[in-house]
Every structure is written in C-alpha cells, then in structure tokens.
Structure 1
C-alpha cells in the first residue's frame, strides 16, 4: 500500500493501490456521463408512471395516461370500419352482377376479397390461387366444376363442397375398380386423354375406350367430355387436370376416384366478406357473367 499522492501528469490523486508499478488513480466520473445516467433514471421512472408497466399474470399497471397499443389498435380498427361502413352497405345492397360494373365498388370489393382470400383460402388454393395438382383446384383459369358465374361462386363459398352444410354441393364419382376390368379401365383412360387432343378427330371414335366411355362415363361428363356444371362433373376435353393428365393418373382416378372437400364459409364469414370473395375469385380469370 503506497502513500496517497497526486499524479503529476493528470492531476487526480491516487487511491494508494499499486500493482507492478501501476498506480490506481481516483479519476472522477465525467459530468456528461453522470448527467446522462441521471436523465435515464428520470426517464425510466417517468415512463413507468405514465405508461403500462409492472405486468402480472392477470393484469398490469395501466399508467396515468391509460394508453396501450391494444387500445390504439382497437381505435384504428373501429375508425377503419366506420370509413368502410358505407361501402360495405353498398356491397350488400348491390346485386352481385352489378358490383363489377361500378369501378369504385369493384375496387373496394376486390381489395376486401383479396385480403379475405389470403387469410382464409390461400392455405389450400395458394396465394396466387393457382391451386395444386392432385389436391386443390386452380381458380385463375376458365375451368369451373360448378360454374363460373359470380352467383355460382358465391354459392360454392357459402355452402362448400361435400361439407357439413345441408345445402352443400355434392357430386360423387363411382369407383370402377372391380366393375370394369383393368383392360377396360386402361382403354377408357386412353380415350379420356385423347379428348384433350384436338388433332385426333374422327380416329378417336375407333379407339377401344370410346364405347366404354359412352356406356359408363358420358351420362355425367357428356358425350364429348364437356362435363356437367349443374352437378359438378369436370370437363375432360381440355388440358386442365386436377388429378393429373397422364394415363396412369386417369387410371387411378377411374379405379378409385379422389374427391376433395371444401368447408362451408357461411357462419364463419359475414355476407359482405363472402360477396367480396366471390367478386375477387370471379375476377381472377375465366369468370362468367
């Protein structure tokens, strides 16, 4: 322990501690640092007093200002709803077919429908509504199982496909495995695939599967494979396939058909949202008037 002395270069006195010739100085904390430290404490205490703090598992101290981000969000949401109220009333009051003729109402409906689609429908149909082969249908083409009119789209959204709703759309393709031989199913599959080939022409009728298709499939899908939208029978004479457009995929579908399910959204979404969804889906592509 050394005797207290003052450093000749910097001025502060030493503490009396020395290690290997290095002496510890009594250098005071800079005033700017001390002032900053005090300010931070004052700010922290003021923040605790004014704003929410000291949370527990059941509650929290609201603060003298009684402000919260949740309250701010609720107020902003309420304000947005009030601003949208007039447009939402018009959506309900305007026939669906006339909404698209009103540019401003159409833009509002598409914006609201897209937001609702991304939140509720994109999980299956994709953000771009492109669907997924073998799982979920694409909504941006011109192939509609139950019709592409805006009113028909709304009905599908409201009641779903093979859902628990008593008014749901229902269609069922019978399984032909065990009813037809493997050879007949293969022949029918080749014929079905040929329906989308515009170049086959009259030669298609001479294919072995033509008679099999006419006897077992044409009652639903139509003699030319045009489908039946009144009961959800898909069109077969285009290049759009939900469960794959190969012979093997068609054989599988004929043998043991896959049939998807769409939930009903009536009761989950209000009528305004369903209408906006119908408008949005209708404008994605191929929608009928």
Structure 2
C-alpha cells in the first residue's frame, strides 16, 4: 500500500496526480455542496414518483399525484369555450345586421373573425387584407359584388365562380379578341386608362370612348363605375384587380382573367362566416 503524500506547504494530502511537477491536492468537497447535491437526488426521486416521468411501452407512469399538463390545457380550453358559448349562440341566432347593431356582440364577432381571417384568408388577401394581383383589396371602398354587410356575408358564404355552390356569384367577361379589331382594343384600352389618368396614347381616347359605349357600358355602366349585381368592376378606381396601365388593360380586354373564391359557408359553418363578414366589414372599406 503506497504511503499518503502530503503537500509540504499546505499540509493537505495529494491525490497522487501530477502535471508538470504540480500535484493535485485532495481537498474535500464543501459540506454545503454535498448536502445540496444529495438533496437534488432525493428531489428527483420524489418528483419522478409524484408526477408522470418514466416512459413505458405505449404510455408513461401517471405519478402518485395524477397530474397531467395535457388535462390542464384541455380543461382551460373547455372553460374558454364555455365562457364564449353565449356569444356564439347569439351570433348563430342573429343576422349580420343585428350583430353589427349590438356593440358587445360586434366586438366579439370582430375578434373571432380576425382570428379566422388569419387562418383562412391571408393566403390570398394578405395579412393586412390589402390584396394582391388577382385578389381584391378588402380595404378599398369599391367592391365587385357590393360592400354592405349582407353582401359581404353572401360573398364569403357562397364564393365567386365556385362550382360546388349553386348560389355562388357568377360573371365572366368575354374575350374581346374574338369580337373587336386589334385597333379597337387599343382604343378602348387607351380610354379606360385615361379614366385613371394613365393613357399612353391620348389620341386614341375619343375613339375608345365610342368602342366602350358600344361594347362595355352594358356591364360597366355608361360612366364606367361598374355594376355590383354583375360583379363588373369600377374602371375609374385607381386600384386595379389584376394590373393597371394601358398595356395591361389591353391584355385583359383581349383575354380576360377570371378569378375564383371558395364558398366558405359549407367549410366553416354559418357562425364563422358571420364572424368573418363582421371583421371584413370592420376594415373600413365596406359600405
């Protein structure tokens, strides 16, 4: 048995380890540290017995106290649903016009509709409902199918050009490449662009006004303000659905694009559609 080595300066036993002539002292751990370490071991054992901890084949140990964080979340969600159930039933029973007239119910529906919009609508209309090419700006004052609360509800519930809903909005602009001469298309494009002050060839505007009156006014109106019953857009509005400028207008006249919107009524249910309608109306662009 080797003799204990004692450091001459400190009088403390060494461990026998030496690095570059420096020996390691075998100082004992502080008592407080050891007791703390032992306490953590005891705590871990007690905790693993009291709470779910050890994995099994298809589940875990339930713990002596039977605590479950998942059960807590489930209970909290159930309590939240119970708290708002009265409002949900009121939304279900009332029309969108009646909901707007009730301040508390309107606030609830707006908040719920905002959440539903973020889940279902921002992919097309944007997080701020500002739209994108081919998808309407819901903050705008001009609405293709009308912007009062009942019209907004109708559009959300039944969609636009949606084959699965017989009450969907339907309108299609014909391809005037088969109707008008190329020169006439350029003329009417110049006229429509002039309504926004963007005509590239102002000399074609007078002739384009006549082409418009003969071929376009039936849907868009003599003043080009559109027709909400037909979904014909207001051509004097500075915000264009697809693109602005004379060249873009000419392309749309030749071969128009026709967007589609799903009918959300069957997908989300009437309550959620009402909440969405209230929220969209609250953006300020509605009538």
SS of the residue aligned with 1:268? helix
Distance in 1 between the 2:65 and 2:37 partners?
25
> How many angstroms apart in 1 are the aligned matches of 2:255 and 2:146?
25
1:172-187 counterparts in 2 under 5 A? 172-187=172-187
Alignment of 1:106-185 (within 5 A): 106-132=106-132, 134-163=133-162, 164-185=164-185
Question: How big is each residue's C-alpha offset from its partner over 1:224-269, in whole Å with a ceiling of 9 and x where there is no partner?
Answer: 1121111211111222211122001111111111121211212321
- Measured against aligned partners, the alpha-carbon deviations of 1:70-114 in whole angstroms (never above 9, x if no partner) come to 322221111111111111122222332122222211111111111
2:30 corresponds to 1:26 = no
For structure 2, the 5+ residue unaligned runs are: none
Change (3 A) 1:104 1:212: same
Query: Residue in 2 aligned with 1:81?
Result: 81
How far 1:169 moved relative to its partner? 1.5
| Maintained 8 Å contact 2:191/2:205 | no
Q: Distance in 2 between matches of 1:169 and 1:62?
A: 56
- Judge which range, 70-79 or 16-25, deviates more: 16-25
Partner of 2:263: 264
Root-mean-square deviation (CA), in Å?
2.5
Aligned counterparts of 1:155 and 1:16: Cα–Cα separation in 2 = 87
Q: 1:48 maps to what in 2?
A: 48
| Cα gap change, 1:192 to 1:27, in 2 (>3 Å) | same
- Structure 1 residues 33 and 184: alpha-carbon distance in aligned structure 2, compared to 1, 3 A threshold: same
Deviation at 1:2, TM superposition (A): 7.7
Please give the secondary structure, in 1, of the residue aligned with 2:193.
helix
- 15-24 or 87-96, larger mean C-alpha shift: 15-24
The count of residues paired between Structure 1 and Structure 2 equals 283
Q: Deviations over 1:182-238 (max 9, x none)?
A: 2111111111122345xxxxx999711122212221121112112111121111122
Q: Are the equivalent residues in 2 in contact too, given 1:109–1:276 (CA < 8 A)? A: yes
1:189-200, aligned counterparts within 5 Å? Answer: 189-197=189-197
Out of 181-190 and 66-75, give the one that drifted further.
66-75
Please say which of residues 82-91 and 28-37 is displaced more in the overlay: 28-37
Query: Partners in 2 of 1:188 and 1:91 — Cα distance?
Result: 47
1:174 and 1:33 map into 2 onto residues whose CA distance is 85
CA distance in 2, matches of 1:284, 1:211: 38
Q: Please, which moves more after superposition, 145-154 or 96-105?
A: 96-105
Mapped contact 2:188–2:205 kept (Cα < 8 A) = no
TM-score (normalised: structure 1): 0.88
Query: Deviations for 1:43-83, whole angstroms, at most 9, x for unmatched residues?
Result: 32333223333446843333333333332222111111111
Aligned partners of 1:55 and 1:61 also within 8 Å: yes
Deviates further, 232-241 or 8-17: 8-17
Match of 1:233 in 2: 232
Q: Give unmatched runs, 5+ long, in structure 1.
A: 198-202
